[in-house]
Amino acid sequence: MVTHHPVGIAYLVTPWNFPAAMATRKIAPALAAGCSVILKPATETPLTALYVATLLEEAGVPGDAVSVLSSKSAREISEVMFADERVRKVSFTGSTEVGRVLLQNAAERVVNSSMELGGNAPLLVLDDADFDTAVEQT
């Protein structure tokens, strides 16, 4: 049995790496649950986020269901988001340090939170490695 329980606006914060994939994997479940979203892309990837929003609208998603809010000051944007009672979900992928700050903000209003924190996925390529294969697998 599948039930849909929209909670309100979902504030989605994505990192610079894999910008389209990170945005779509956050947007799709929110829309499927009936939530509208505000996507805050990394400073380095606003155009990808805007393009994803354009593609979603071309695919039939209502234009007001997905908003992209880019900024060089993520902290200021997050403060505004957490001050708005309509924002009921936050999803963040990024550093543990920033995740802690967002979780503290979310705790004040008991905002539903999903965090993917930490890893930078480092890769060591040693002298005896096949360089072409290593590049293909990253």
Q: Where are the domains of the chain?
A: 9-136
Quick one: average pLDDT of 38-61? 97
Q: Annotate 71-82 with DSSP letters as a single string.
A: -S-HHHHHHHHH
What is the dihedral angle through the alpha carbons of 73, 74, 79, 85, rounded to the nearest 10 degrees? 130
Domain 9-136: assigned CATH number: 3.40.605.10
Q: How confident is the model at residue 112 (pLDDT cuts 50, 70, 90)?
A: very high
Q: What is the mean pLDDT of residues 5-21?
A: 94
